[in-house]
Structure 1
Amino acid sequence: NIIQNVLSPFKPLPDVVHRITAFAGSGKTHTLRLLASAYPSLKILYLTFNRDDDPLASEKDNKGFPSNVVRQTTCSIARKETQAMGNFEEPRKKVVRDFLERRLGHSLNYKVVDVVLGTANAWMMSSDPELSEEHVRKGEVCELKPEFRALDFVKLAKALYDAMIDPHCHEISMTHSTYLKKFVLSGAEITCKSGGPFDAILLDEAQDVNMVTLQMLLAQPG
């Protein structure tokens, strides 16, 4: 069987990651569908990296996967687990400035806001568990007025993140990266309806995945 011979090197194994490189329109999703069909006894999770709840809502053949496959998006899983709600838009700079000014007790300009937002975003999209100086955009700090360069941008960015995930704080809006980071830091597991982890995870459109999403998947057991 030609198809079976092609698929055999990609047999799901514990702690093994297979990567299939393909060009646009070359049948990546169809290949994943064949992989899922080749292992009907396994509990398989099919994932795409987008912000919709149904990863195949726009596809004509969205029912082509076998019954042992659950279709989800990385964002929908993290949203459900973290109970994230909102429009998931970048916080308005004026709101962030007001928030920071209250913490510091003095006025700031929007360049400071840009550094704090950039620091928070760099950390949230990374696989790093701790926010550190490595996430601060040093080039932008050098362009600030002298009185602002000594600010603790790590502390301010962490305070901004904490406000984003605080269910009682509705001032600072949460982004998609915020709840993905919260999911990863929580150590939550992706489980199937019957309980326990999936036997295999198929990730479509993996080129769109950032580091925090990759960490979300690699941290899963099995």
Structure 2
Amino acid sequence: FIPWKKLYHRYLKREDWALQRVEQILQEFSITKEQQGCVLGLVRLVSSTGPRVDPSGVLQILGTHPLFPKAQLCVLRKFPDLQSKPGPEKMWAVVAVMVLFSDSVRDIQKLLECFGSPRSKVSVLEVTEVLHCMATLLFAMRDRSIPISNRIHYNIFYCLSLMENASGIVQPLEEGRVDLGSRADVKLTHEQQRILNHKIEPGQTVKIMAFAGTGKTSTLVKYAEKFRELKFLYLAFNKAVAEKGKKVFPRNVTCKTFHSLAFGSIGRHYKDKGKLNFSKMSVYSISFLLQSRKGQSLFIRGKLVSKTLENFFSSSDEEICEEHTPLWFKNTHGQMELMSREEKKISVEEAKEIWHNMKKLDGDAEKRYKMTCDGYLKLWQLSKPQLSGYDAIFVDEAQDCTPGEL
């Protein structure tokens, strides 16, 4: 949801797609060295791509900026066709010219302060996208030896850099609940604030990528607080994290683990029948379920079947197949061997037999084939559950999710 910023940084990295896209834009708006007055094409681009907002109130706020009168006069003379348009095209053209007229970083900072006014209907994110648009094209123009001062790009770049490294104070959580750091105030970075400015749409996936301890969960807490009219489901991998989430998140968030969802739908039936094993099936117990084969160790085969089942449970596949078998195994001499096609076939057959019996709620009087937690999670995944009642789902540490969980 920040296309111009992404394009800017990809262009700086000289990615092929970005280079082609920028060249296409330059040609489309006649921003070439051969075109006289090509800077006007840049203004035209900004005026046509700026966010669609009511310009009346914003123009009044911009009127307090020292560069506004000169920029407005320039647009009036150079772009007479924009005067009759009721939309925001004229406003964004004025903004673009103000940036081009800027003598210092402070001029652009004052411009951002105008948009930060409570009367402004333009978000800071929308303005920074316009600035990234201009920065991208200005940098590309310099690449093509189009005569334009590098100072303008520097002013934009430096101003954006100052913004992104600044922090803002947000209000504490609702009374009776605690924040993640047990502090009265939580500081959000500019990156976190941009996430809060984005309202999730149905069917949309948003990834928050950051290092451990940088505030990903804090961002989700603040997001849920901002959009209190929405209902969220927060999914964690273990019970301790989910329980902590119940104390941290506002009341429009339900906190659960993946396994608790699956248990409520599938696992509880096996528990009621006494067929639930809350730990993994051990290699030792699996080896007792296998038939003896000449020249093969039951314990080694138990390892192969255990790994095959584990890979199947983690996958999004509906049936056990040879792709779930391990590639290598350690033989009775402790040496690594590549699994043969025949060994793979045997492991698949044995894993299928065990899985078939694990799924049975009745008919296993000795209860040798108990359902495991990963097993009922797999059954829940195969049932294609519909998590109705929630507007969005927060997945904690989503990078660690298996294909089956996703």
How big is the shift at 1:62?
4.3
Is 1:13 matched up with 2:184? no
What residue in structure 1 maps to residue 400 of structure 2?
Answer: 208
How big is the shift at 1:127?
1.6
- Output the CA distance in 1 between the equivalents of 2:360 and 2:338: 29
What residue in structure 1 maps to residue 81 of structure 2?
Answer: none
How big is the shift at 1:184?
0.7
What residue in structure 1 maps to residue 327 of structure 2?
Answer: 138
- Output the CA distance in 2 between the equivalents of 1:145 and 1:198: 45
Which range moves more in the overlay, 137-146 or 26-35? 137-146
- Output the CA distance in 1 between the equivalents of 2:205 and 2:399: 15
Which range moves more in the overlay, 10-19 or 83-92? 83-92
Q: Give the TM-score taking structure 2 as reference length.
A: 0.44
- Output the CA distance in 1 between the equivalents of 2:318 and 2:193: 41
Q: Do the aligned partners of residues 109 and 64 (structure 1) sit closer, same or farther apart at CA in structure 2, a change above 3 Å counting?
A: closer
Residue of structure 1 aligned with 2:372, choices 175, 180, 193: 175
- Output the CA distance in 1 between the equivalents of 2:358 and 2:221: 38
What are the residue-to-residue correspondences of 1:1-222 with 2, within 5 Å?
6-8=194-196, 10-50=198-238, 52=239, 55-57=241-243, 59=244, 62-84=246-268, 85=271, 86-101=276-291, 109-140=298-329, 143=337, 149=343, 152-168=346-362, 169=364, 170-190=367-387, 196-214=388-406
State which structure, 1 or 2, has the greater radius of gyration over its C-alpha atoms.
2
**1:32–1:202 Cα contact (<8 Å) kept:** yes
Q: Do the aligned partners of residues 151 and 22 (structure 1) sit closer, same or farther apart at CA in structure 2, a change above 3 Å counting?
A: closer
**2:196–2:222 Cα contact (<8 Å) kept:** no
How big is the shift at 1:44?
1.0
- Output the CA distance in 2 between the equivalents of 1:153 and 1:145: 10
- Please state whether the residue corresponding to 1:201 is helix, strand or coil: strand
Which range moves more in the overlay, 148-157 or 68-77? 148-157
Which range moves more in the overlay, 151-160 or 37-46? 151-160
**2:327–2:339 Cα contact (<8 Å) kept:** no
**2:278–2:373 Cα contact (<8 Å) kept:** yes
Q: How many residues align?
A: 203
Q: Give the TM-score taking structure 1 as reference length.
A: 0.77
- Output the CA distance in 1 between the equivalents of 2:353 and 2:371: 13
**1:184–1:212 Cα contact (<8 Å) kept:** yes
How big is the shift at 1:9?
5.4
**2:235–2:242 Cα contact (<8 Å) kept:** no
How big is the shift at 1:8?
4.7
Flag structure 2 segments of 5+ consecutive residues without an equivalent.
1-115, 117-167, 171-191, 331-335
- Output the CA distance in 1 between the equivalents of 2:208 and 2:345: 45
Read off the aligned partner of 1:203 and give its amino acid letter: V
* Structure number with higher relative contact order (C-alpha < 8 Å, ≥ 6 residues apart): 1
Cα deviation code 1:100-136 (max 9, x no counterpart): 228x8xx852111111111111111112222211111
- Output the CA distance in 2 between the equivalents of 1:62 and 1:120: 33
- Output the CA distance in 2 between the equivalents of 1:101 and 1:144: 22
The structure where helix makes up a greater share of residues is 2
RMSD value, Cα: 3.2
Which range moves more in the overlay, 79-88 or 63-72? 79-88
- Output the CA distance in 2 between the equivalents of 1:110 and 1:135: 19
- Output the CA distance in 1 between the equivalents of 2:291 and 2:305: 12
Sequence identity (%): 31
Which range moves more in the overlay, 87-96 or 35-44? 87-96
Read off the aligned partner of 1:73 and give its amino acid letter: T
How big is the shift at 1:5?
5.3
**2:290–2:298 Cα contact (<8 Å) kept:** no
Q: Do the aligned partners of residues 163 and 23 (structure 1) sit closer, same or farther apart at CA in structure 2, a change above 3 Å counting?
A: same
